[in-house]
Amino acid sequence: MPQTPPTAEDGDGPQLYLVTPSGAAAAALGPLLAEVLDRAPVACLRIRAGDDAAELGRLADMAREIAHARDIAVLIEDHIALVQPHGLDGVHLTHGARGVREARKLLGPDAIVGAFCGASRHEGMTAGEAGADYVSFGPVGASALSPGETAPLDLFAWWSEMIEVPVVAEGAIDAELIAALRPVADFIALGPEIWGADDPAAALAALWLP
């Protein structure tokens, strides 16, 4: 079972971090997820939380089975209580540094704990000091779904030079941004960028593969 996701130092450039579609049903997503994971080398899979607790549990079991068969770490957004019962590798906290220490206390030293910190350098540093295994900044690109502040490329450049905690770039990322992020991000997260396409696996390959 994966213990921690790799960093950019483990290979040439950033690793691919995949996020499941919002509100997905396990039965419908399963075959598509397997196809997507087989199309490009994914290092980490994040389950986007939905409102249906029972469906979220089914989604966690399905994602774990498919991803662990491919040696891919699986995280779930915010639902710390689901990590251990469903055999997941950790949690992705969507509200910055808040909750990082508590998640570490509950899940233990071997679990992956990540934190989304918007575009705040300070929040990212606080999360790292609290014990986060990685920090996520975004959205990187402009999006009608995220009309607020974007995370600039110089934030990632500064972070990669000054901070040892791995950094994830996410949010409205296109091929041009992927090229710009490759020298300065440990992971690049893709999700909504591919799931709306008629063929998500092909969309991922077009964005990620040379």
Cβ-Cβ contacts under 8 Å for 186 (sequence gap 6 or more): 7, 8, 14, 15, 134, 160, 166, 167, 168
Q: Which residue has the higher pLDDT, 87 or 7?
A: 87
Give the model's pLDDT for residue 3: 45
User: For residue 144, what pLDDT band results from cuts at 50, 70 and 90?
Assistant: low
Q: Which residues of 134-158 are buried (b: 16+ CB within 10 A; e: fewer)?
A: bbbbbbbbeeeeeeeebbebebbee
Residue 104 corresponds to which tokens in the numbers above?
A: 């570490």
User: For residue 7, what pLDDT band results from cuts at 50, 70 and 90?
Assistant: very low
User: For residue 1, what pLDDT band results from cuts at 50, 70 and 90?
Assistant: very low
pTM of this prediction? 0.93
Domains and CATH numbers, the chain: 14-194 (3.20.20.70)
3 state SS of 23: coil
Give the model's pLDDT for residue 158: 98
Q: What is the DSSP letter of 113?
A: E
Q: Which amino acid is at 95?
A: H
Q: What is the pLDDT of residues 160-204, one digit of tens each?
A: 999 999 999 999 999 999 999 999 999 999 999 999 999 999 999
Cβ-Cβ contacts under 8 Å for 52 (sequence gap 6 or more): none
**pLDDT over threshold 80, residue 35:** yes
Q: Pseudo-torsion of CA 126, 130, 132, 134, nearest 10°?
A: 30
What is the rounded CA–CA span in Å between residue 60 and residue 47? 7
What average pLDDT does the structure give for the chain? Answer: 93
Q: What is the pLDDT of residues 106-137, one digit of tens each?
A: 999 999 999 999 999 999 999 999 999 999 99
